[in-house]
Structure 1
């Protein structure tokens, strides 16, 4: 599967950034198999509604600490605590270590209408993204700790499709779902045209 593009054109590669192994694996695959030195990486973190207000109050209560190191491919921090955003800085540092010439930016946006998928799709259009990369779990009902919406009329039907699959099918740009299969077993990749494509590490 060729997702590296051509050296002639600069691309914007968006990686969905969340505190978990799936997101870390997606970033690792992107850095070593998709991103070229002239590309730009966007780390997108979608926050639940009102998360920023909770994060600010948590920050006021917490003593200062040094952000933990985050080697690509490992769990990126902890999902506990609304104010824990060290994983974003750690992911950016991992980008700089692997691709020092690549421009990296962090985007934190609030979820629109409690719909994470729609928020991501809106950001890909707004930021003119060429390649979207998202970590993918085997389970179908949750992704990175977020339960999918099951309300009537939702774009996502509960238990029927996970976030990555929805984005793969509905994104205007190329979207790659990434599952890491063990430490040295490679990656299982999914796109709209390639299902369960095996890539050795």
Structure 2
């Protein structure tokens, strides 16, 4: 029952609502994951949290280019979600800090039921042989160490359609949605 909150009484019974959190940034793969979660995970009355993390630079200060657009990005994505699904409660959070630690702490603090992360397509055949990118490693760490159901979402190519979904139990599961 962790991550589920009582929402109220409907037709004589208690209604449970969940909190769905999506880590967003300016990339297309995070926006695809956000729209997938909004359409296929969130239900009426659920809490839908958009988390945008401003990373620290190597000297501990915030990155100027990302910090200036972060509130605008988070709020505009939040407005898009509200316009698409007005029956879902949407909130946008902008937090500065190390990405993995910030995500894990917010999952615990907010009692998140489902965490959704965008996965990008491998950029080339060379990346398959040379190892994973930092984004892929981040998604894998969240999936393997998350305290809630964590889903990596990657939109298929235009010709194929659907999504590749990765969880702790299933990797690259093709879902036609």
CA 1:84/1:199 → structure 2, altered by over 3 Å: closer, same or farther? same
Partner of 1:83: 68
- Count residues with an aligned counterpart: 149
Distance 1:90 1:171 in 2: 27
TM-score normalized with structure 2 length: 0.77
Gaps of 5+ in 1: 1-6, 55-79, 144-160
Question: Which has the larger share of strand?
Answer: 2
Specify which of 119, 128, 134 is matched with residue 102 of structure 2.
Answer: 119
Q: What SS does structure 2 have at the residue aligned with 1:10?
A: strand
Contact conserved, 2:54 with 2:67, CA < 8 A, in 1? no
User: How far off its partner does 1:8 sit?
Assistant: 3.7
What is the alpha-carbon root mean square deviation over aligned residues?
A: 1.9
Q: Does 1:131 align with 2:114?
A: yes
Gaps of 5+ in 2: 1-13, 123-131
4+ runs deviating over 4 angstroms = none
Specify which of 90, 94, 111 is matched with residue 108 of structure 1.
Answer: 94
Distance 1:185 1:167 in 2: 25
Q: What SS does structure 2 have at the residue aligned with 1:121?
A: helix
Partner of 1:164: 139
User: How far off its partner does 1:182 sit?
Assistant: 2.5
Q: Does 1:93 align with 2:68?
A: no
Question: Which has the larger share of helix?
Answer: 2
Distance 2:24 2:117 in 1: 8
Distance 1:22 1:10 in 2: 26
TM-score normalized with structure 1 length: 0.68
User: How far off its partner does 1:116 sit?
Assistant: 1.4
